[in-house]
Amino acid sequence: MVTFKNQPDSEQSVMATEPLAVKEPDSTRLWWHWHEPGASKEEKWLIFKLDAAILTYTCLYLDQTNITNAYVSGMKEDLNLHGNELNWLTTYFNIGIIIGAPFSTIMLTFIKPRWWIPPCTMAWSLLVLGMHKAETVKTLYILRFFTGLCESGTMPGSFYIIGSWYRKSEISRRTTLFWFSSVGGQMLSGYIQAGM
C-alpha cells in the first residue's frame, strides 16, 4: 500500500490504488539526448530523415520575408511603390493566411496530409514564381493574397505530422526545431539577398 503525507488513515486505504504522487522523471533521460535511450540504428536514421523534413519549413519563411528584401533591392523603384504599399502587401498576405488557416485545418481532418499539403505547397510556389512578372502593385496584392491562402495549410499540417510521427517525449524537441527553422529562414533570406 502506498502512503502519502498529510493524509488521514481512512483515506489511505481508499487511495491506495490511485497514488496522488507525481511520477519522478527518469534520471537517465537528459535534455540534450536527441534520440530515445535504446533506439536502434534504423530508428535513429528514420528520426534523422523526419528531422531533415522539418527543416524544409525554412523555405516557407524565405518566401514570407523575401518581399521586404525585394523592396529594399529595387522593387520600390521598379513598381513605383509609395506610401504604405509594402505594408499592404504584407497585410493582404496575412489576410489570406487568416482566411485559409481554418479551412485548411478542417480539410486536414477529411483529407490525408500527403494529399493536401503538397498541392498547397506547389500552388504557393507557383504563385511566388509568378511574382517576378508583376508589373503593378495591384497584381502583387492579388498574388500575395493567394500565396497566403495557399501557405495557410502548411503550419497546421506540419504540426499534425509532427504529432503523428513522433513519440510524446520527442515532440517538444521537434517543435523547437520547427520554430528554429522558421527563424533560420528569416535570417537566411537576408544573406541570400545580400549575396545577389
Task: Name all domains of the chain by residue range, CATH numbers in brackets.
Answer: 41-195 (1.20.1250.20)
| pLDDT tens column, 85-116 | 999 999 999 999 999 999 999 999 999 988 99
For residue 150, is pLDDT > 60?
A: yes
pTM assigned to the model: 0.73
For residue 138, is pLDDT > 60?
A: yes
Q: Three-state SS string across 112-148, please?
A: CHHHHHHHHHHHHHHHHHHHHHCCCHHHHHHHHHHHH
**Three-state secondary structure call for residue 1:** coil
Q: Decide if 36 contacts 171 (C-beta within 8 A).
A: no
Average pLDDT over residues 40-66: 82
